[in-house]
């Protein structure tokens, strides 16, 4: 159960950090739902390619690097936009490249339950940006340094 929980935490961390879902940009609840759905879709598409690649290479999908697969897919996407015939022809080489991006086997890995991120040197902006700009133009100091 510990390993299953570990994988779930790694998947959430990957979504937040590597898929840039740490800060959602939309404001309305409907758009937040759509933004999260788009992130999940992209994540599942990459994981699907990893699973297909692992099946073709006879390895476990969890032994492949998500970031390696993501970078490989991004390098392919630039030359394949709007050309389904090229995508279909180049899928086997893409899967071969993904299966080469392996993780180091680290069984029973334990990590400390501690926060490593340091606080940012700036305070949070707690008013509309437009109002803050007006105050700065008037020469008023918004916040003192920490």
Report CA-CA distances (Å) from 131 to 25, 27, 134, 137, 141.
Answer: 20, 19, 5, 10, 13
Tokens found for residue 16: 């937040």
Whole-number pLDDT of residue 82: 64
Instruction: Find how far residue 58's CA is from the centre of its chain.
Output: 26
Q: What is the b/e burial string over 8-25, where b = at least 16 CB atoms within 10 angstroms of the residue's CB?
A: eeeeeebbeeebebeeee
| Cα–Cα dist 121/40, whole Å | 32
Phi-psi region of 11 (alpha: psi -120 to 50; beta: other; left: phi over 0): alpha
Which pLDDT band, with edges at 50, 70 and 90, does 141 fall under? low
* Beta pairing partners, 102: 64
**pTM greater than the 0.85 cutoff:** no
Instruction: Decide if pLDDT at 146 tops 60.
Output: no
Q: What is the pLDDT of residues 41-96, one digit of tens each?
A: 988 999 999 999 999 889 988 888 888 888 888 887 766 666 677 777 788 888 88
Over pLDDT 90: what percentage of the chain?
Answer: 9
Which pLDDT band, with edges at 50, 70 and 90, does 111 fall under? low
Whole-number pLDDT of residue 85: 74
């Amino acid at each position: 159960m510990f390993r299953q929980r570990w994988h779930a935490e790694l998947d959430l961390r990957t979504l937040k950090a590597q898929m840039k879902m740490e800060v959602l940009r939309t404001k309305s609840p409907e758009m937040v739902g759509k933004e999260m759905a788009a992130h999940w879709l992209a994540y599942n598409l990459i994981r699907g390619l990893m699973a297909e690649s692992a099946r073709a290479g006879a390895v476990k999908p969890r032994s492949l690097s998500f970031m390696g697969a993501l970078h490989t897919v991004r390098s392919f996407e630039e030359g394949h936009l709007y050309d389904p015939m090229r995508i279909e022809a180049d899928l086997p080489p893409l899967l071969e490249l993904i299966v080469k991006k392996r993780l180091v086997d680290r069984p029973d890995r334990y990590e400390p339950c501690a926060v490593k991120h340091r606080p940012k040197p700036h305070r949070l902006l707690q008013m509309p940006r437009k109002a803050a700009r007006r105050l700065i133009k008037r020469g008023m100091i918004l916040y003192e340094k920490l």
